[in-house]
């Protein structure tokens, strides 16, 4: 007889954690909502896809090579990234999406009794990873829909190991400029690692957006996250990276997982790194979609949030969960924001022109119901 009872084996912080449930695949959703087509505007994907050079790499891939392990730590890609951003390859660590890199950093710097500091309404994965790792997440309320530097500084104590800034912030699109990030780093004064998650940095067209790679030379506790999922249109390949001062990168390398980035992702990303045309085309698309959403918001009398990024948020006069369901029934999927602590708001990714038109038409109809 097995004496197995799972409860005894599960640490309290895991028992208390509620698992994230991703949305089901499209075929399931189509059946569930009885629609023939679904416009997904919930994941901030790039409707232009990967850059042409990356698409060519994918098309050339030899299926038989799927049998081979990739090179274990992204030798060539790390050199390409370093060359592009003026770094040393030793400063760059790759992950299976930036999501995986969040875990590397928490594992490298935190032990039981430590805490991380971030905002209450930001990318939730920092909080989740800390929680189910037994590390206390300290959540500082946003101020004016953005990260509150004074509040973050007050929350830092002797057990704070990492401060996660989401810049620009998902979901509000708010951002800190170079001077503000620099003042914050001065005030933290090396007491904790400061992560600037710049998943949407390539969408920034403002000259005052931080040059974080330059700041890293003077602030060795600064860690920068980037991803190929958003601007580079490669979310399905799961690849992201971080850069840090050499000694910090060397420490994180210990807790990083070799071989976690697949062959296709490594090669496609290497082809994408220098592509400027794709960047310009995507920026033009985003400008147009943002203007369209602002127009819709104005027409429907809805408050809109959205600074930098390929998404915007709308405040609805009805529950976001209800709006979400009704939009689904019309073949449009936006992000209901109650679970991001933004009840009453929807986040909409800047998809193709037809998808944005379908969203506008569906939302207008839903609000008239
Ligand atoms: C999308 C996103 C990421 C993670 O992206 P990956 O697909 O895991 O690389 C990280 N941070 C923010 C703020 C994001 O929106």
Q: What secondary structure, in 3-state letters, does the chain show? A: CCCCCHHHHCCHHHHCCCCCCCCCCHHHHHHHHCCCCCEECCCCCCCCCCCHHHHHHHHHCCHHHHHCCCCCCCHHHHHHHHHHHCCCHHHEEEECCHHHHHHHHHHHHCCCCCEEEEECCCCCHHHHHHHHCCCEEEEECCECCECCHHHHHHHCCCCEEEEEEECCCCCCCCCCCHHHHHHHHHHHCCCCEEEEECCCHHHCCCCCCCCHHHHHHHCCCEEEEEECCCCCCCHHHCCEEEEECHHHHHHHHHHCCCCCCCHHHHHHHHHHCCCCHHHHHHHHHHHHHHHHHHHHHHHHCCCEECCCCCEEEEECCCCHHHHHHHHHCCCEECEECHHHCCCCEEEEECCCHHHHHHHHHHHHHHHHC
Q: Say what the pLDDT of residue 337 is.
A: 97
Nearest CA to ligand 1 atom 6: 97
Q: What is the pLDDT of residues 277-286, one digit of tens each?
A: 999 999 999 9
Strands 193-197 and 222-227: parallel
Instruction: Report the C-alpha gap between 136 and 116 in whole angstroms.
Output: 6
Instruction: Report the C-alpha gap between 197 and 199 in whole angstroms.
Output: 6
The token pair that represents 61 in the structure block: 């891939």
Angle, alpha carbons 88-232-248 (nearest 5°)? 30
With beta carbons less than 8 A apart as the criterion, state whether 333 and 327 touch: yes
Ligand 1 center to 106 CA (angstroms): 16
Q: Stretch 222-237: mean pLDDT, rounded?
A: 98
Average pLDDT, the chain: 97
What's the CATH number where 167 sits? 3.40.640.10
Nearest CA to ligand 1 atom 12: 199
236 and 333 co-located in one domain: no
Q: Say what the pLDDT of residue 3 is.
A: 84
113 and 245 co-located in one domain: yes
In a domain, 292, yes or no: yes
The token pair that represents 41 in the structure block: 């505007």
241 and 296 co-located in one domain: no
Q: Say what the pLDDT of residue 229 is.
A: 98
Ligand 1 center to 98 CA (angstroms): 6
State which ligand 1 atom lies nearest to the alpha carbon of 228.
9
In a domain, 256, yes or no: yes
173 and 268 co-located in one domain: yes
In a domain, 145, yes or no: yes
Ligand 1 center to 5 CA (angstroms): 36
Contacts of 240 by beta carbon, 8 Å cutoff, 6+ apart: 94, 95, 96, 97, 98, 99, 100, 101, 199, 225, 226, 227, 228, 229
For residue 234, give the nearest of 47, 39, 50 by alpha carbon: 50
262 and 339 co-located in one domain: no
pTM for this entry: 0.97
34 and 111 co-located in one domain: no
25 and 73 co-located in one domain: no
Q: Say what the pLDDT of residue 76 is.
A: 98
Ligand 1 center to 339 CA (angstroms): 17
The token pair that represents 6 in the structure block: 């799972």
Ligand 1 center to 237 CA (angstroms): 13
Nearest CA to ligand 1 atom 11: 199
306 and 247 co-located in one domain: no
Q: Which domain holds residue 328?
A: 7-49+277-368
Q: Stretch 229-238: mean pLDDT, rounded?
A: 98
Identify the domain boundary among 239, 272, 305: 272
In a domain, 205, yes or no: yes
Q: Say what the pLDDT of residue 148 is.
A: 98
Strands 335-336 and 332-333: unpaired
Identify the domain boundary among 250, 272, 294: 272
- CB of residue 173 inside a 6 A radius of ligand 1: no
Ligand 1 center to 199 CA (angstroms): 6
167 and 232 co-located in one domain: yes
In a domain, 1, yes or no: no
Q: What is the pLDDT of residues 149-167, one digit of tens each?
A: 999 999 999 999 999 999 9
Residue 86, by phi and psi: left (phi above 0), alpha (psi -120 to 50) or beta? left
Ligand 1 center to 183 CA (angstroms): 25
Identify the domain boundary among 224, 242, 272: 272
Q: Stretch 79-97: mean pLDDT, rounded?
A: 98
In a domain, 45, yes or no: yes
With beta carbons less than 8 A apart as the criterion, state whether 277 and 90 touch: no
For 196, what's the count of Cα atoms within 13 Å in the CB-facing half-sphere? 29
Q: Stretch 301-318: mean pLDDT, rounded?
A: 97
98 and 134 co-located in one domain: yes
pLDDT > 90 in the chain, percent? 97
- In testing the pocket of ligand 1, which one of 97, 169, 202, 234 has its CB within 8 Å of the most ligand atoms? 97
238 and 323 co-located in one domain: no
- CB of residue 199 inside a 6 A radius of ligand 1: yes
31 and 140 co-located in one domain: no
**Count of domains for the chain:** 2
Cβ neighbours of 154 (radius 10 Å): 12
Q: Stretch 295-301: mean pLDDT, rounded?
A: 98
State which ligand 1 atom lies nearest to the alpha carbon of 166.
13
| Tokens 């170079």, located at residue | 178
- Confidence at 32, pLDDT banded by 50, 70, 90: very high
What's the CATH number where 42 sits? 3.90.1150.10
In a domain, 2, yes or no: no
Nearest CA to ligand 1 atom 2: 199
- Confidence at 1, pLDDT banded by 50, 70, 90: low
């Amino acid at each position: 007889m097995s004496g197995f009872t799972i409860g005894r084996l599960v640490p309290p912080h895991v028992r208390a954690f509620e698992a994230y449930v991703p949305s089901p695949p499209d075929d399931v959703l189509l059946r569930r909502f009885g629609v023939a087509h679904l416009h997904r505007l919930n994941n901030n994907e790039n409707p232009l896809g990967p850059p042409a050079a990356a698409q060519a790499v994918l098309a050339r891939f030899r299926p038989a090579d799927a049998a081979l392990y990739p090179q274990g730590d992204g030798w060539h890609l790390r050199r390409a990234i370093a060359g592009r951003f003026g770094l040393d390859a030793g400063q760059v660590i790759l992950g299976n999406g930036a999501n995986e890199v969040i875990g590397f950093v928490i594992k490298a710097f935190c032990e039981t009794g430590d805490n991380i500091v971030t905002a209450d309404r930001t990318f939730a994965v920092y909080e989740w990873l800390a929680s189910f790792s037994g590390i206390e997440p300290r959540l500082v309320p946003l101020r004016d829909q953005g990260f509150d530097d004074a509040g973050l500084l007050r929350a830092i104590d002797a057990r704070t190991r990492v401060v996660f800034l989401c810049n620009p912030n998902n979901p509000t699109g708010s951002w800190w400029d170079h001077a503000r990030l620099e003042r914050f780093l001065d005030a933290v004064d090396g007491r904790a690692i400061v992560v600037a998650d710049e998943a949407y940095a390539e969408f920034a067209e403002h000259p005052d957006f931080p040059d974080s790679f330059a700041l890293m030379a003077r602030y060795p506790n600064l860690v920068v996250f980037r991803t190929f999922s958003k601007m580079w249109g490669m979310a399905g390949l799961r690849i992201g990276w971080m850069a840090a001062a050499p000694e910090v990168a060397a420490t994180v390398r210990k807790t990083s997982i070799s071989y976690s980035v697949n062959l296709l992702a490594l090669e496609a990303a290497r082809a994408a790194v220098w592509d400027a045309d794709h960047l310009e085309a995507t920026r033009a698309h985003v400008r147009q979609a943002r203007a369209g959403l602002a127009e819709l918001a104005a027409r429907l009398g809805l408050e809109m949030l959205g600074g930098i990024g390929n998404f915007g948020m709308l405040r609805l006069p009805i529950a976001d969960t209800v709006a979400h369901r009704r939009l689904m029934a019309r073949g449009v999927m936006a992000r209901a924001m109650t679970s991001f602590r933004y009840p009453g708001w929807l986040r909409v990714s800047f998809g193709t022109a037809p998808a944005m038109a379908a969203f506008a038409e569906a939302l207008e109809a839903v609000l008239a119901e």
